[in-house]
């Protein structure tokens, strides 16, 4: 696997770890303190631009992998066996790259939605407890 796709796979594994962390049961009081902290608010403002850049790069990688998959899906029956095997290997790599970039992009959007829902839930629970 080439370096860009290794980085993309690492990004996918990081996304999976973040989703699992967000789905773990954590105290709502701690979440309220975390999501209302000034540090996090400043961080969100700074990282919102990077989020769109990362999603854009993932979309470009997904489209490139889809193009590669489409390119190698054309099979010529007159080719020799070793050429067919090389084309199948390239097709496998293109499909793997397409799945990696597609799932990484999807999980980025899921993480963003999960963070929004968890923060709203923590704020609402804190308001209910204070009443």
Going residue by residue through the chain, which has 131 residues, state the pLDDT in tens, using 9 for 90 and above: 788 889 989 999 999 998 888 888 877 677 777 777 888 888 888 888 888 898 999 999 999 999 999 988 887 777 788 888 888 899 999 999 999 999 999 999 999 898 888 888 878 887 888 87
pLDDT of res. 130? 80
pLDDT of res. 10? 92
Structural domain containing residue 123: 3-130
> Cα separation of 110 and 23, whole Å?
11
Alpha-carbon torsion (125, 126, 129, 131), positive or negative: negative
Please tell me the total count of domains within the chain. 1
Backbone angles phi, psi at 47, to 5 degrees: -85, -10
pLDDT of res. 28? 65
Residues 116/20, Cβ–Cβ less than 8 Å: no
> Cα separation of 116 and 51, whole Å?
14
> Cα separation of 102 and 83, whole Å?
28
pLDDT of res. 101? 94
Alpha-carbon torsion (93, 95, 99, 105), positive or negative: positive
Record the pTM. 0.79
């Amino acid at each position: 696997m080439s370096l860009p796709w290794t980085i993309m796979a690492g990004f996918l594994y990081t996304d999976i770890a973040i989703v699992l962390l967000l789905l773990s049961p954590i105290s709502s009081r701690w979440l309220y303190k975390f999501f209302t902290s000034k540090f996090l608010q400043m961080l969100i403002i700074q990282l919102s631009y990077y989020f769109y850049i990362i999603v854009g790069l993932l979309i470009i990688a997904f489209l490139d992998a889809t193009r590669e998959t489409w390119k190698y899906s054309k099979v010529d029956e007159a080719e020799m066996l070793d050429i067919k095997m090389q084309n199948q290997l390239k097709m496998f790599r293109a499909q793997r790259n397409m799945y990696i970039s597609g799932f990484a992009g999807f999980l980025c959007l899921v993480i963003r939605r999960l963070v929004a829902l968890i923060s709203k839930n923590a704020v609402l629970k804190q308001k209910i407890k204070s009443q």
